[in-house]
Amino acid sequence: MESIIEAGQADRRDLTPAEITEYRSLDVQLGHAVASAEFAGEVRHDPRVTDPERVSGGYALRRASEAGYLNRDESLRERIDRRGLITDEERELSFGKMLRGIITGEWRDAEAENRALSHGSAGIVLPLSISAGIIDRFRTQATVLRAGARTYEMTAAKHHLPKLTGGITAAWHFDNSTIADSDPSFGAVELEAKTLTALCKAPLSLVEDAPALGEAVERELAAAIATEVDRAALYGTGASGEPLGVVNTSGVESVAGGGALSSFDKVADIFAAIADNNAPVPADVILSNRTRFALGKLKTGITNDNSPLPLPDFMSGVTFHPTSQVLTTEGGGSDARVFVGGFEELVVGIRHQLTIQILQERFISEGQIGFLAFWRGDIAILRPGAIGMITGVTS
């Protein structure tokens, strides 16, 4: 892998499509080997390159040991910048100018953006400063992340995250007796980068307005990625290249709603089921807009009393996250689910790079231009028993 990078550095050129294909193949193999060996405790992270990143006409080498969780308010772009992987010139790059130059071939006043371009087999590999900015933007929009799901920075194509599958048992001891062993049981959850595509369109009239073009495309791509991450995190099948979501994960608690919610009894039932798994009291609820406002219309039930039904004490600290990504058409009708739990046990793995293709002819009859983005990531649930669902809700 290093020899591929060194060849590009020596010639002061971008990698060829064949070199990029070979590099990515080796990247996947290395990711599998390093992740498996590290989880088994056989090796420590080797500071070998795991992904090429364009920096000042050459390539920076990113270390596998730099993977890990991002704090909820931590910026991926700032983290990468702290490592020295974004140059002074790249910090000032304009996404709009770059798109305008790619579309029109006119790079006047956009020389830095032209120098930062890197072409891959799937399209144009966006500079890290721009890619990470779009990823940070979708992180602020995804409902599961706002509800507490954690972001894991993937510096290889595959990672194993440890999870505790069985706890330690305590026992009373008396003098001169043997102390029984009680070892925790550990397992692993795998993150393996999967490809997500997002398509957005913009009017051709925006092409000459670089700031507006960059803002519009970035906004729409981030929103599209956030929307699909939410859907996959909740409903993903784990098949056909998509992650496995809450609905299809074994061990997630479930309580039948049985129609319209007339009280908070079903919520109490799912809270109790999660508590029986020794998980923390749920602090977040993801639900449809329909169900959220239906709960707000619940009444006390006292004759001639039209007062709203107050939240029970156990829900006093709960934050509701209404979203259109919760389906209201399940069961062949109007069924929906309410997702409850500690969403910090749900992990969204993110790769740094975005690749974009410009579709100049596909939408020309509509007076628009298309932008097709490719991003890689995955979703995993570390502790299914900390998350639960109320099913069959019709309100």
Question: 344-386 pLDDT, tens per residue?
Answer: 999 999 998 899 999 988 888 888 899 999 999 999 999 999 9
Report pLDDT for 268. 93
More confident residue, 389 or 6: 389
Please say whether the beta carbons of 383 and 278 come within 8 A.
no
Residue bearing the bigger pLDDT, 4 or 220: 220
User: Residue 378: its pLDDT value, please?
Assistant: 97
* Alpha-carbon span 362 to 77, nearest angstrom: 32
pLDDT score recorded for residue 166: 66
Q: Which band of pLDDT confidence, cut at 50, 70 and 90, is reported for residue 5? A: low
Average pLDDT of the chain, as a whole number: 82
Answer for the pair 381, 342: CB distance below 8 angstroms, yes or no.
Answer: no
Residue 57 pLDDT > 60: no
Please report the pLDDT score of residue 144 as a whole number: 97
- Of the candidates 75, 76, 110, the one whose C-alpha atom is nearest the C-alpha of residue 93 is 110
Give DSSP secondary structure letters for 346-365: EEEEEEEEEEEEEETTTTGG
Say yes or no to pLDDT of 21 above 60: no
- The answer for residues whose C-beta is within 8 angstroms of residue 31's C-beta and 6 or more apart is 50, 156, 157, 158, 159
Mean pLDDT of 333-353: 93
CA proximity to 346, closest of 196, 161, 168: 161
Nearest 10 degrees: CA dihedral of 159, 165, 170, 171? -140
Query: Model confidence over 128-168: pLDDT tens digits?
Result: 999 999 999 999 999 999 999 999 999 888 998 887 666 66
Is the model's pLDDT at 119 over the cut of 80? no
Residue 245: HSE in the Cβ half-sphere, 13 Å Cα cutoff: 18
Q: pLDDT grade, residue 228 (50/70/90)?
A: very high
Which pLDDT score is estimated for 361?
Answer: 85
Percent of the chain with pLDDT over 90: 45
Assign 237 to helix, strand or coil.
strand
How many CB atoms are closer than 10 A to CB 305?
Answer: 8
**Domain 69-165+183-395, CATH 3.90.1690 — does that match?**
yes
Nearest to 288, CA basis, from 343, 337, 340, 346: 337
Residue 392: pLDDT above 90? Answer: yes
Mean pLDDT for 249-276 is 92
> Pairing mode, if any, of strands 336-341 and 284-287?
antiparallel
Q: Are 167 and 183 in contact (CB under 8 A)?
A: no
Say if CB 389 and CB 270 are below 8 A apart. Answer: yes
Residue 139: both structure tokens together: 């992180």
pLDDT score at 55: 33
CA distance 111 to 195: 31
